[in-house]
Structure formats: C-alpha cells, structure tokens
Structure 1
Amino acid sequence: MELALQFGIELPATRTIPRCVTDPVPSFEQIVDAHYQGLYRFALSMSRREATAQDLVQQTFLQWAKKGHTLRDASKVKTWLFTTIYREWLAIARREKKYEEVEFEPEVHGATQKEDDGENPRVDSATLQTALEELEPNYRAPLVLFYLKELSYRDIAETLGVPIGTVMSRLSRAKDSLRAILHRLEKSTPTNIIPITAS
C-alpha cells in the first residue's frame, strides 16, 4: 500500500472475505470476485502480455476449482492463489526459455550500485510501470507482492518458495534497483512528475 500511494498507483477494489481460521472458505464466486483483478495485475506485471496474464488467471482459478476444497484455512486463500499463479508463470517462462532463476551474488555480479544523490526520484505512474518492467523477475515479483498486493514476508516466501531472509534481501535490492532506474528515467524523460519519498 505504501509504495502504491507513493507512486500514484490505483489499487483494485476488492471485496473483503473471511480472515478467521475458523470461518469457512469462501465460495468460488466470492474468490473470483475478491481476487481476479489482483491476480490479473500481478500476472501482467510478470508476463507483460495481456493474453498470457489472462491465461494465467484462468489456469489459477481452474486449479482452485480442482483443489481449493482441500484448503481449510480461509486466511490462506490469497496466498494459495498467488502461489499458484506464480508457479504457473514460472512453468510458462521456463518453457519459453525466457527466465532463469539466478540468485544475485555480489562477488559474481558486482556489488549493487546505489544511486543516491541525496534526493528521491520524482515519478508518475507511467514511469513507475516502465521502471518495474525493467526489474529482473526475481526482484519484481516480491516488490509487487509486498507493496501492491500487501502480502506479508511469510506469505511472499510461501508464494515464491524461498526463505523469508531471501525475500527481505530481494526486496532491499529491488528497491535500490528501482530507485536507480527511476533516477535514470527522471533524467532522460521529461514528463509531468510528482515527488516520491523513499520507504
């Protein structure tokens, strides 16, 4: 939420669903109503293709229709859905040989360069979207899930299948990289801009 407000992104309206573990899992229609937009936007941010994003969402809800009845904890519905759509995207990306999961290693790739001239970048929503698309998938996914989908570190770790420490590390590097990209875009692209503050 914080990043969305800073960067001027409008979050999708969602219906609230039960969060108590003892509450029943919502119906299929409630699940679709509550999470369709969020899943689609996440899929689009990863795949960058509308048709692929739509296919991913459809496949995710198909998986829910087949296996969702096994989930007894209503508070885990959102995590289950985002975990499923992320895994579906990985399968597609690997088949297309467009994604290779490589963990950042400073001694191999060089230290992360922090571009900080003492001022925060100024950005509009279109510039932010461009910057997000430049991030590597390993860094873009946790950033989107944390700030725009408001998943916890633990839920992101479950979704991406990595330790919580890795999530925190990737988020830190993602924010540094995003800030550097935004500084570069700010200098190269004149536009109507609004100031943002570092989180």
Structure 2
Amino acid sequence: MSEFQDLVDQHYQPLYRFAYSLAKSPDRAADLVQQTFCIWAQKGHQLKDRSKAKTWLFTTLYREHLGHARRSNRFPEIELEEVDYHLHSHEPDTSRGLDGKRAVELLQQLDETFRAPLALFFLQQHSYKEIAAILDVPIGTVMSRISRGKEQLRTKMRDDAEGKIINIEGKVRQNG
C-alpha cells in the first residue's frame, strides 16, 4: 500500500467529521476532504516533518472551507432536500431528545468562530495547541472560543430542553 493511501485511510474519517461540522452538508464535506487530499498530493512532499501531516491536513481543510465560504457569500447555496423537508414538514419533530445527535445539530447552529474550535476539541479530540495551529490563532484565543462556545451550546441545549415537555407515557411534545 502506498504512503498516500495510508494517509487517506488514517485521516479520512476524522477529516470528514470535521468538514461536516463546518459545512453542514455531506456532499460539501466530502468535497472538502477530497480537495484537501488533492492539495496534499500536490504539496505534501514539501512538509519536512511527516509527524505534522495530521495538523497540516486539518489546517488545509479549514482554509479550503473558509475560502469556499468567502466565495459563496455572494450566492448562498441551498440544499434542495432541506427546502423540500421544510415545505412538507407541518408538524414539529417531537421525537428528538437531548442526545448526542441533537447536540451536534445544536453545535452546527453556532457561529463558525465557536463551532470550529469546539468541533476540533470535542469531536476530533485535538489539543489546544493543535487547534491553534489548525485555525492559525493564538492558544489563548482557542481557549476563549472553546469556553464561550461551550456556554452558547449549553444555552441552546437548555432552551431546546425547555421547549419540550415529557408526559407520563414518556412521549415528548412541544411546549406551548
């Protein structure tokens, strides 16, 4: 197996999860990961210390995401499936409890300033130092953004939980 294939096998899933937390779209996340590996194929040989490959890949993916976000700000993309879902969804979704999946959904509602460091820290288990390198910000900024992001996420989770009432049968219904 080639060195490149080993790199892809080792880092594809964590990169995809991070990309999905940023892009909020499976297709866009897959595109970001593919673009990241294409850039590695072109420029990866320039990295002298191979132990830094993981950080390099995450940094590259993040920068690709930012570049795409800047370019697409003029013409926002709308997923047709989301439009179709919202057009046909007349009843509120009352089946969701406050589980891990819902926490990730709420995380995706945060501003990217806080979403990216939280996703890297909690979903990818990167250290503050690695996150600082990936996002190209001081470590103190990372710590501050994670702290503020956690507080915003807690507030969203609390608001989400308060919007639901559990009746005696254990069924969840919307409050109000």
Which aligned runs of 4 or more in structure 1 are off by greater than 4 angstroms?
none
- Percent identity at matched positions? 50
Correspondence for 2:15: 39
Query: What is the Cα deviation at residue 190 of structure 1?
Result: 5.2
- Indicate the RMSD between aligned Cα atoms, in angstroms: 1.8
SS in 1 for 2:48: coil
Pairs aligned (count): 144
Instruction: Check if 1:188 corresponds to 2:163.
Output: yes
State the distance in 2 between where 1:189 and 1:69 align.
Answer: 53
Q: Residue 142 of structure 1 is aligned with which of 117, 129, 135?
A: 117
Correspondence for 1:123: 98
Correspondence for 1:73: 49
Q: TM-score, normalised by structure 2?
A: 0.76
State the distance in 2 between where 1:80 and 1:183 align.
Answer: 36
Structure 1 residues 103-150: Cα deviation after superposition (integer angstroms, max 9, x where no partner): xxxxxxxxxxxxxxxxxxx83122212211111111010001011111
Q: Which has the higher helix share?
A: 2
Query: What is the Cα deviation at residue 166 of structure 1?
Result: 0.5
Query: What is the Cα deviation at residue 75 of structure 1?
Result: 2.2
State the distance in 2 between where 1:80 and 1:190 align.
Answer: 46
Correspondence for 1:86: 62
State the distance in 1 between where 2:165 and 2:120 align.
Answer: 29
Unmatched runs of 5 consecutive residues or more in structure 2: 75-96, 171-176
Correspondence for 1:61: 37
Instruction: Check if 1:176 corresponds to 2:151.
Output: yes
Q: Residue 158 of structure 1 is aligned with which of 122, 133, 136?
A: 133
Question: Would you say the 8 A contact 1:157–1:163 is kept in 2?
Answer: yes
Question: Would you say the 8 A contact 1:127–1:185 is kept in 2?
Answer: no
Which structure has the higher relative contact order (CA within 8 Å, separation 6+)? Answer: 1
Structure showing greater radius of gyration is: 2
Query: What is the Cα deviation at residue 67 of structure 1?
Result: 1.1
